[in-house]
Structure 1
Amino acid sequence: MVMILLLCLIFFITILFFIKQRAWKKSNTIPSPPGLPLIGNMHQLGQYPHQSLRSLSQHYGPLMLLHFGTVPVLVASSADASRDILKTHDRVFASRPHSKIYDKLLYGSRNLASAPYGEYWRQMKSLSVLHLLSNKMVRTFRDVREQEISLMMETIRKQNSSPINLSKIMMTCTSDVICRVALGRKYGAETDLKELTDRLVRQLGTFTFGNFVPCLSWIDWICGLERQLEKTANDFDEILEKVVQDHEDGDGGKADFADVLLTLQRDKSVGFEVSRMSMKAIILDAFVGGTDTSSTLLEWEMSELLSHPECLKRLQEEVSTVSKGKSSVSEDDIQDMYYLKAVIKETLRLHPPFPLTVPHVSTEDVNLRGYHIPAGTQVMINLYAVGREVATWGPDADDFKPERHLNSSVDFLGQDFELIPFGAGRRMCPGISFAAVLNEVALANLMLGFDWQSTEDQTENNVPESIGVVIRRMFPLIVTASPAT
């Protein structure tokens, strides 16, 4: 009897799938790869969706329609298509689709990244931009950045040219910076925060049947996903609740995010209520978003430089020349390091930490590049494909060549859609200034302090990537660092 009911359910879903496919085909001519009943195009994503979607776009074009289960998903893979979505029709695509995972892990999607577009999101955006991530606040944490980068350099120095796990060292540095900025102090082994952060980021990228095939959401429960999400959410909430409580019991003399948020809550100076849950959601957003992306970018920069020794040498010469005999690089020095900025842009082009943007969703019907897009359609920008678009970057688009940026005005601040690793439009990452200055000064100091050698085979062009939302190296970067001569 159970088998008969299951077969009937599969038959019903198959019929529904084909009806929806026919409805889309009648009203749209958007290129679309053929899908399978029930799962649509999900089988075509593979382990590395950003790479698979780029390959599909080379056949079906820069704007293509896929179906993930019963959900229509529009994928943009070019600068022009991205501009139309994130600028021309930015308001229509400014919201986020509902996600069970976001609700579980991110305080009911109360964080800035996943909150639906509306009054609450506007309030949190205003709070973050004006009070937490303003240029004034970025300057406030200069001492924190310099202290933690100095500790990173000392850690490397103590290895005495022995092989070191540079990935781990850079992760510790960025994590400690973000901890002090967002949480008020470093949280070490007593919380095992790195393992917890890795777990949360991994789960944010987990596929759920409930999001794409609602009638099969019971499979998520059987697989234990619900319990895993609940545990991660509770573990993080325990830490964040302690952080907020410690700040409430403290003297309020700090300037970290938790203190700022508590002050705004007490003074009611922002014109709306800042709930305790919203505070924890914003702090979680800043910590998880800032830690993983910052260390990932540094990791890819060092990987590319070690694979291209001529670029490494040129950057070291620039840093040494501008620093004029100093033992460390200050944030004032990096303003004149043009090749450094070119290396960073080129790395962001080839290795955006989030190669696929957090999905957008259309809130009303819209005409996009001549196609009718119904309300409720999810949209993803493949930043990996945009950064390697041959029409923009030329036949050597897959090659690491920082020189291409030296005489170019293209930047990653959200105005040039050829290079939007932090997104663009209303939902652009508001922490871009903080991330940029931390990355610049950290990379410059690594260049000034040491001569680097990789333990990897430098003839290997394609470094294996990790699996997940944030794309790191599959394996840690192991190097030797001898004092610079």
Structure 2
Amino acid sequence: MDFDEFYSNFTITIALLIVTIIFLIILKKSKAPVVIVNWPPGPKPLPIIGNIHQLSSLPFRSFRDLAKQYGPIMHLRLGQVPTIVVSSPEIAKEMLKEHDPSFADRPQTIALKIMWYNYKDIAFSPYGNYWRQMRKICIVELLSAKMVRTFASIRNDEVTRLVKSIQMSGDQAINLTDSIFSLTSSITCRAAFGKVSKDNELLIKLLKEGMEMAGGFEIADLYPTSKVVNALSWGKWRLVMMRRKLDVIFDGIIDEHKVNLGKGKGNGEFGNEDLIDVLLRIKDGGELEFPIHNDNIKAVIFDMFSAGTDTSSTLIDWTMVELMRNPRVMEKAQAEVREVFKDGKITDEGEVQKLKYLKNVIREALRLHPPVPLLPRASREEHVIKGYTIPPKVKVLVNNWAMQRDPKYWTNPESFEPERFETNSKDFIGGDFEYLPFGTGRRMCPGMTFGLASVDFPIATLLYHFNWKLPGQMKPKDLDMIESPGITALRKDSLFVVPTPAAFTNTPICI
């Protein structure tokens, strides 16, 4: 036996020994007195691991399959964590509307705790007065319809830049997924923080890794009471190292804002205050019910960057993928865009509202590919739902992805058919519980208006200026439609396409 083989076998032996020790410790702790609860039905859990073995890397797909056997409200045990999975619009309505805010908390995960500064952000902070305070500030200063309209020139500038970069590619295939990520991150940075960070590529990398690890399926999330598991969790230490990189970037952004404010200059795109300026001002003003510090500001920075970048880029990417897979829909959408903008200009973003078919294309993309497939909630107090008891502090996952593909509510649910919305009045503003791409109730996405403004205009521009084909001999049916794991469901593979400038276009669309 050579040294390499000996070292490999030794490493495997040590790893198995550690796993065995952890197993015995958890087994000992799991012998606590059993509390009888009238849980919803669900598959029988195994000792220690519970129902983890029944999940794939894409839990929302596994949950849909299990729901066919155990019903629209299920109880599973994921490691130590009791979890309720809801796959019915009627039950979702009862929980998220009739008993909102009893189900308005968020489940905690190790990634959210570390990367979002111990839940000091908005999206993942516990429901309560602090959450209301920070949400109100961000809506007023960034996310309101009025503020979104003021960022129109930023969106136009970044989309024009995207068009020019694509034109420079010639007839070469481009990674449209990466280009879209860069577009939405730049729009978000300029609107919220005054300019694009010099560390934007690293921010995007940390965002993607953080979102992938934040789904609640890291080993430290599955055994939260085990100090041994937490101490030996490589994922936890990886997150700590990622957080240190975030600190360096965000501390630099905050310090730069402080310097400019000291000179009497706002850091906003137009010489005004941006969101960080506002947070720094009220931090020093002592006017808040819950005083904030640098970690609060950094948590909000990462919140705005992640929400403004990830969900918008995910939606644009899936929309373009579906258009590539459905040439008939692509042709119809392009014909509409080129007719409405036949003069080559958009005089204002109100013109985009004329694109009725494109709006339906985006709505259909949101139905088939909701950026957040599982709506994460946590119970704040005990409730009886459909005769079953849901104790307090229990994780609740509403399987939005499954409900939006349920044949009980949708005809041909697996097909991409934008025409369905010509006669279907369902909308995504939170009142139709079989269609909740932005959530509903108090925890509905507050950045919906901001995000959508960064979606329809870029797609319209891409369809106007270019014809698109897949590289080489690749056919639409060859596109893999599997999602990547994590809180958001970006397509696993990047979209590579070959753009050809439309013969009649010569100048970028402008506002």
Q: Offset at 1:164?
A: 1.2
Closer/same/farther in 2, CA of residues 10 and 363 from structure 1, 3 Å limit:
closer
Matches within 5 A, 1:345-364: 345-357=363-375, 359-364=376-381
Change over 3 Å in CA distance of 1:453–1:5 after alignment to 2: closer
> Which of residues 136, 158, 162 is equivalent to 1:148?
158
Correspondent of 1:370 among 374, 382, 387: 387
2: CA distance, partners of 1:347 / 1:334: 17
Residue 321 of structure 1: aligned partner: 339
CA distance in 2, matches of 1:304, 1:4: 46
**AA at the equivalent of 1:390:** P
Q: Counterparts of 1:35-54 in structure 2 under 5 Å?
A: 35-54=45-64
For 1:201-350, what aligned pairs fall within 5 Å after superposition? 201-205=211-215, 207-250=217-260, 251-252=265-266, 253-267=271-285, 273-327=291-345, 330-350=348-368
Structure 2 CA distance for partners of 1:14 and 1:267, relative to 1, 3 Å = closer
Distance (Å, rounded) in 2 between the aligned partners of 1:213 and 1:83: 30
Q: What amino acid maps onto 1:177 in structure 2?
A: I
Deviation of 1:245 after TM superposition, in Å, equals 1.3
User: Residue 6 of structure 2 aligns with which residue?
Assistant: none
Determine the structure 2 residue equivalent to 1:407.
Answer: 423
Question: Do the aligned partners of 1:210 and 1:217 also contact (CA within 8 Å) in 2?
Answer: no
Aligned residue type for 2:497: V
Partner of 1:192, secondary structure, is helix
Contact 2:27 2:48 in 1 (8 A): no
Distance in 2 separating the partners of 1:248 and 1:88: 45
* Alignment partner, residue 441 of structure 1: 457
Find the aligned partners of 1:119 and 1:132 in 2 and give their Cα distance: 20
Higher mean C-alpha deviation, range 261-270 or range 103-112 = 261-270
Identical counterparts, % of pairs: 35
Q: Displacement of 1:189 after TM fit?
A: 5.5
Instruction: Give a deviation string over 1:7-26, Cα, whole Å, max 9, x none.
Output: 76454355449x35xx23xx
Counterpart of 1:420 in structure 2 is 436
State how 1:98-117 maps to structure 2 within 5 Å: 98-117=108-127
Q: Secondary structure at the match of 2:409?
A: helix
- Cα offsets for 1:245-274 (capped at 9, x unmatched): 111111113343212322333455666534
Distance 1:214 1:461 in 2: 38
| Aligned residue identity for 1:321 | E
Secondary structure at the aligned position of 1:391 is classed as coil
Residue identity in the other structure for 1:364: E
- Look up the SS of the partner of 2:74 in the other structure: strand
Distance between the aligned counterparts of 1:194 and 1:316, measured in 2?
30
Alignment of 1:67-78 (within 5 A): 67-78=77-88
Structure 1 residue 477: deviation in Å?
Answer: 0.7
Quick one: which amino acid aligns to residue 458 of structure 2?
A
Deviation at 1:199, TM superposition (A): 2.4
User: Residues of 1 paired with 2:341 and 2:452: CA distance?
Assistant: 19
Query: Contact (CA 8 Å) 1:356, 1:381: kept in 2 or not?
Result: yes
- State the shift of 1:206 in Å: 5.9
Q: Distance in 1 between matches of 2:432 and 2:22?
A: 50
Corresponding residue to 1:66 among 67, 72, 76: 76
SS in 2 for 1:379: strand
Q: Look up the SS of the partner of 1:397 in the other structure.
A: coil
Residue 5 (structure 1) shift? 7.8
- 2:212/2:487 contact within 8 Å kept: yes
**1:482 to 1:384, Cα distance in 2 relative to 1, 3 A:** same
Range moving further from structure 2, 80-89 or 320-329: 320-329
- 1:483 and 2:501 aligned: yes
Q: Who is 2:11 aligned against?
A: none
The two structures have a TM-score, normalised by structure 2, of 0.88
Mean CA deviation greater in 328-337 or 396-405: 328-337
Q: 2:193 is matched with which residue?
A: 183
Distance 1:6 1:482, change over 3 A: closer
Q: 1:285, CA displacement in angstroms? A: 0.2
Runs of 5+ unmatched residues, structure 2: 1-16, 504-511
Stretch deviating more after TM superposition (267-276 or 80-89): 267-276
For residue 163 of structure 1, report the CA deviation from its aligned partner: 1.3
| Regions of 4+ moved over 4 Å | 1-8, 13-17, 266-272, 327-330
State the partner residue of 1:126: 136
Give the Å deviation of 1:450: 0.8
Give me the whole-angstrom Cα distance separating, in 1, the residues matched to 2:481 and 2:195.
34
Rounded to whole Å, the distance in 1 between the matches of 2:19 and 2:239 is 30
Instruction: For 2:93, give the aligned amino acid.
Output: R
Q: Is the 8 A contact 1:452 1:480 kept in 2?
A: yes
Distance 1:267 1:10, change over 3 A: closer
Q: Which runs of 5+ in 1 are unaligned?
A: none
- Report the AA paired with residue 365 of structure 1: E
User: What's the RMSD between the two structures over aligned residues?
Assistant: 2.4
- In the alignment, the residues of structure 1 paired with residue 492 and residue 208 of structure 2 have an alpha-carbon distance, to the nearest angstrom, of 13
Whether 2:41 is the aligned partner of 1:31: answer yes
Deviations 1:68-87 (A, max 9, x none): 12221111112212111111
Q: Which SS does the other structure have where 1:406 is aligned?
A: helix
Q: Which residue number in structure 2 is paired with residue 389 of structure 1?
A: 406
CA distance change for structure 1 residues 191 and 478 in 2, over 3 Å: closer, same or farther? closer
CA contact (8 A) 1:38 1:213 kept: no
**Distance of aligned partners of 1:169 and 1:191 in 2 relative to their CA distance in 1, 3 Å threshold:** closer
Q: Distance in 1 between matches of 2:20 and 2:200?
A: 52
Count of residue pairs the alignment pairs up: 477
Q: Give the match for residue 452 of structure 1.
A: 468
Tell me the equivalent position of 1:431. 447
- Asked if the contact 1:13–1:37 (Cα under 8 Å) also holds between the matched residues in 2, the reply is no
Separation (CA, whole Å) in 2 of partners of 1:373 and 1:158:
57
Alpha-carbon distance between aligned partners in 2 of 1:388 and 1:125, rounded to the nearest angstrom: 31
CA distance in 1, matches of 2:401, 2:333: 25
Pick closer, same or farther for the CA change 1:5–1:99 going to 2, 3 Å: closer
Amino acid in structure 2 at the alignment position of 1:382: N
Task: Please report the TM-score for the alignment, with normalisation by the length of structure 1.
Answer: 0.92
CA contact (8 A) 2:199 2:249 kept: no
Bigger mean CA deviation after superposition, 185-194 or 80-89: 185-194
- CA distance in 2 between counterparts of 1:283 and 1:438 reads 18
Equivalent residue letter for 2:153:
D
Structure 1 position 460, deviation (Å): 3.6
Question: Does the CA-based 8 Å contact 1:133-1:431 persist in structure 2?
Answer: yes
CA distance in 2, matches of 1:224, 1:63: 33
Query: Structure 1 residues 462 and 85 mapped into 2: Cα distance closer, same or farther (>3 Å)?
Result: farther
Amino acid at match of 1:426: R
- SS of residue paired to 1:301: helix
Q: Distance in 2 between matches of 1:460 and 1:179?
A: 35
